[in-house]
A = this chain, B = another copy of it.
Amino acid sequence: MVDTNTYDVIVVGAGIAGLSAALYLARQGLKTLVISKDLGGQLLMAGTIENYPGIKVTNGADLAMAVEDQVKTFGGEFRYGDVVNKIDKLEDGKFMVSTEMGMKYICEAIVLAFGKIPIKMGVEGEKEYDGRGVSYCTICDGPLYKGKVTAVVGKGIQGLDAVLHLAELSPKIYYVTPTRLFGDEELMRAVKNLQNVEILEYHKPVKVLGDGAKVTGMVVKNIKNGEEREIKVEGIFVELGYEAKTDFVKGLVDLNDKNEIIINKIGETNVEGIFAAGDVTDIPYKQAVISAGEAVKAALSAFSYIQRRRGRKGTILGDWKKTGKVKEEKPSLKLGF
């Protein structure tokens, strides 16, 4: 069964970038659908956020829910629990977006904002025990392993952070890291001072062990001397960084050598009608407000593109509505004074 639906714009991803793009697109009156595995994306890994301009203290989940609510206020639609796996450009310039669950959508423009995903260990048992002892988000799942022995497979600051986070929950943590300890001086000092952490420098994971239902341990290998060792753990936290999973748009939009989508200053990719924003792009900085701003640029560029296709001059709704008689004012994008 294939269902076909038509939208003005489809936003792929519901992190801060996808949500911010959808907010502007929906507010411009475009029929907008957001397709995403989940709400929040990497934002969920953020605990307290204290540098989002205008909000003194928030957290990733609250921020995501707040923007989702704004999107809904303006009529934006969501399809959660599904993943876009194919985009085809049609002859009339529109796009067909296909999902893993077999849905097909037609739209005039697309905003790619599906972020990055955690880098996997790439070892036996990892996939089998994903969610049953193997986690890619220490801050999300750490509390579930309170009182249990755990391992962090990680690198750099991200790995150190995870260890420090678990240190208060776990009686014993193995820190499995493939190089010497590195990252931030202060964090390294803090980790070294912990009584309940065994640091396994120059070690890599070999195999995840389990009883069929959940993780019971893992095999790690000393890279220097080749020695293998089994450690008994119930939780394995993978903190090896993030990668852009852009395979399904390879050949469609230009990617850089990190597989990130190359965009210009206003969120356009090399393909007319396809825009991108956030961590999936080649913008190096990973900050919520940057992703939000980038996404709004992409959204406004998408809106202008659709208006041009329809033979209209793009008028962009302003940042604000004034008090007074007008319901919404509409300062134009590039008002020709």
**A contact residues vs B (CB 8 Å cutoff):** 16, 19-20, 23-24, 27, 46-56, 58-60, 63, 66-67, 69-70, 73, 119, 139, 155-158, 161, 164-165, 167-168, 183-184, 186-187, 190, 240-241, 263-266, 282-294, 296-297, 300, 315-326, 329-337
Q: Which B residues are in CB contact (< 8 Å) with A296? A: 53, 285, 287, 289-290, 293
Q: Which B residues are in CB contact (< 8 Å) with A66? A: 53-56
Complex: chain B residue closest to A169, CB-CB? B324
Q: Which B residues are in CB contact (< 8 Å) with A161? A: 322, 324, 326, 329, 331
A27 x B55 contact (CB < 8 A)? no
State in angstroms the CA–CA spacing of A66 and B50 once bound together.
12
Min CB distance A166 to B, Å, is: 8
Q: Which B residues are in CB contact (< 8 Å) with A332? A: 156-157, 183-184
Complex: chain B residue closest to A288, CB-CB? B319
- Among A63, A297, A334: residue with most chain B CB under 10 A: A297
27 sample A-B contacts, Cβ–Cβ < 8 Å, listed by A number: A46-B320, A48-B323, A50-B320, A52-B54, A53-B67, A53-B292, A54-B54, A56-B70, A59-B320, A60-B320, A139-B323, A157-B329, A157-B332, A157-B335, A161-B331, A165-B324, A187-B326, A190-B325, A241-B335, A241-B337, A265-B283, A266-B284, A286-B319, A286-B333, A287-B300, A289-B289, A293-B294
| Top 5 A-B residue pairs of the complex, sorted by shortest distance between their CB atoms | A293-B293, A241-B337, A46-B320, A47-B322, A20-B53
